[in-house]
Amino acid sequence: MPFFDTHTHLDYLQADTGEPLGDLVANASKAGVEKILIVGVLEKYFENLEKITALYPNNLYYGLGLHPLYIRQHSYADLDKLEQRLISRTANCRAVAEIGLERAIPELLTDELWKKQCEFLETQLFFAQQYDLPVSLHSRKAHDQIFTFLKRVSLKKCGIIHGFSGSYEQAKRFVELGYKIGVGGTITYLRANKTRETIRRLPLNCLVLETDAPDMPVFGFQGQPNRPERIANVFQHLCELRNESPEKIKQIIWQNSELLFAI
């Protein structure tokens, strides 16, 4: 079975490295990464995501979303523009992503900006509900807060808690709502005991793989841009944590990803 990288910023990777998009796709393919989801973060990049994924329609898919890290830059008009893009979306638009809440940066937690973060998350969850799309959720020091939104706004296709690094109990609550847990570079670091133990204990049918390229570098590649092909490194560490055979792990995780994004 091939790999599906369920969360990347491939447009950022291309801009950072200057590499042709075709080379990035080819390198991923050589490593067995057949499908890649590119997530949006700012309205000004939405059109580019549509264009670049159209060049490789069998390999590249995209999500559109307004990321909480850029909450100061987002305007409320951007929500209207996002909805219009979702209404007229192309076939390769498979998610409302990347959305969520950011609580690790004090400057984004003023009363005004926290209220705005919450409003943007709730509105985008309603978009996902209305247009029957899954979500990919940024949740940094915000698992409990995001859970209250997900419990209130029920999504048919649910989605992924991206870059999960919380406790088993927190992950279990998301899984019970129907959400998948994004497994990335964090588990390649032996010091990440809590996350590694959580991923070891969770049911295999709730896990998906991701790189967050060019971010979240895997162990051994610190200081370098992360790449979709390094899914193989994450997979290797996942196999070391699990009791199932590598073949079964790869098959189930591919099926989880394929079904979630209706590929």
Extract the annotated binding site for a divalent metal cation: 7, 9, 98, 138, 162, 212
CA separation for the pair 184, 165 (Å, rounded): 10
Dihedral angle, C-alpha 217, 124, 41, 259, nearest 10 °: 50
Which residues, listed in sequence order, are joined to residue 96 by a DSSP beta bridge? 135
Q: What share of the chain is helix, strand, coil (3-state, %, to 5)?
A: 50, 15, 30
Please, what sign has the CA dihedral across residues 239, 242, 248, 250?
negative
Q: Are 163 and 176 in contact (CB under 8 A)?
A: no
| Residue whose entry in the numeric block shows the structure tokens 């992360």 | 226
The answer to whether the peptide bond before residue 214 is cis (omega within 30 degrees of 0) is: yes
Distance CA 50, CA 64 (A): 9
d(CA 18, CA 8): 16
Beta bridge mates, 209? 183
d(CA 154, CA 148): 11
193: exposed, middle or buried (C-beta count within 10 Å: 0-12, 13-18, 19+)? Answer: exposed
| Binding site as annotated, residues | 7, 9, 98, 138, 162, 212
